[in-house]
Amino acid sequence: MPRRSIDIESLVHGNPIPAATRIGPYVTSSIVGPFDPGTRDVPDTLAGQIDNLFTHVGQMLDRAGGTWDDVAKMTFYVADPLESRKALNGPWLERFPDPASRPARHNMKVDWATPAQISCDFVAYIED
């Protein structure tokens, strides 16, 4: 199956990589930064950064032909695991309200050299 790059206007990487890639039903993202759409500006608040992550991921899923129901796993790279976990739960439950049908989630602590407090990537399975 041919590979197809997925690009979105709200998040463009500085390197020659797509926002995500699809091969058959398998979709995986590159790193998703918390940038304000169309810029490299990072909101001051963790909540604003999380909103941006979910905006970018939602657009990638849409461009790949899927929805939040197709997400199998999301990994969040965080400065503060406890604070991030609490801040993520609200947006997470908005997108995945059914406790019997939620993707896997993992928070991984990283040291940041930027104003970003969080970033993520995801894996989805989208059937045609």
Is pTM beyond 0.75? Reply is yes
Count each helix (H run) and each strand (E run) in the chain, helices first.
2, 6
- Write the CATH number of the domain with boundaries 3-125: 3.30.1330.40
Q: Which two tokens stand for residue 29?
A: 């993202």
The domains of the chain are located at 3-125
List pLDDT tens digits, range 65-93. 999 999 999 999 999 999 999 999 999 99
Distance CA 107, CA 80 (A): 9
Rounded to 5 degrees, what angle do the CA atoms 96, 28, 3 make? 140
Residues making up the chain, counted from first to last: 128
Distance CA 20, CA 52 (A): 16
- Percent of the chain past pLDDT 90, that is, above it, reads 91
